[in-house]
Structure 1
Amino acid sequence: MSRRRLLAEINVVPYIDVSLVLLVIFMLSAPLLTQGVNVNLPKGATKPVSDKTPPILISVTRQGQISLQYRQTHSAVDLSALAEQVKAIAAANHDQVQVLVGGDTHVDYGKVMAVMARLQQAGISHVGLLTRPEGH
């Protein structure tokens, strides 16, 4: 009796078929997964924020009062004197200071914008807005 030799080859055709079907599925579903809002972002050169100097914190309370906090000092500030005080702190730090503005949820939007305008007049370019994460 003659023995038949076993054929020990792998049939790769089904694997190629499955791979091509998956490729087509992913190619068709990828554009549907991309969601977003079209925003025209401004272009400009930015520098990383220096962590060496602490930021100036400006808070606007519900009553519209403005307070300035830098390092260990915390004081109430009038809107007219805000620009001079921030400019003095920035000059002492070689203009390497970041200003963070936080406003109460119920404060008038115009009051926060007045603070931002004063900071712009003072020549402060690194201004951030403080927010609270949702659920806190």
Structure 2
Amino acid sequence: MRNEVGLDVAAIISRRGIDLHYSEFGLGGGASPLGTAVARTPTEAARMPFYGVWGAYRKDTDPWAPPQMRAFMHSFFRKTLDWLSQGGGPTYSVSHCFLWGMGSWDVLGIYTESTTEEGSYRDPAVVAAVRQHNARAAISRVSTQLVAFSNKGK
């Protein structure tokens, strides 16, 4: 970044003890920038984790329905929570992490569009893991809580 805009972010963060707020974090399970195609394999979902499926829950467009995709999503969140419990990585401290909560990214199932008569993107195992992580983070000075975030301001 220093070469592009003349700002050495790493030096500023190190010098001032600044921490990072990780926003719009998540795993969408999509295969299209338009939010209309479902990733069919964990490799495809991992290639573009910011792609997901937009709109209200529909069983036929749930990327997490296949067992291998659900297992991948669980692994992703286990690794995420392990990373956050350390306060981020070795270079930068992460004090806040905001989970993107729309469409197939909303594995906490907190927005009304995420649950319909057909089912829900909500994953009870991820919800339980996030609750447990956040409870530990609330009493720790190192851990970073994972908080839901939406562009609708809910």
TM-score (norm 1): 0.35
Larger Rg, first or second structure (1 or 2): 1
With normalisation by structure 2, the TM-score equals: 0.32
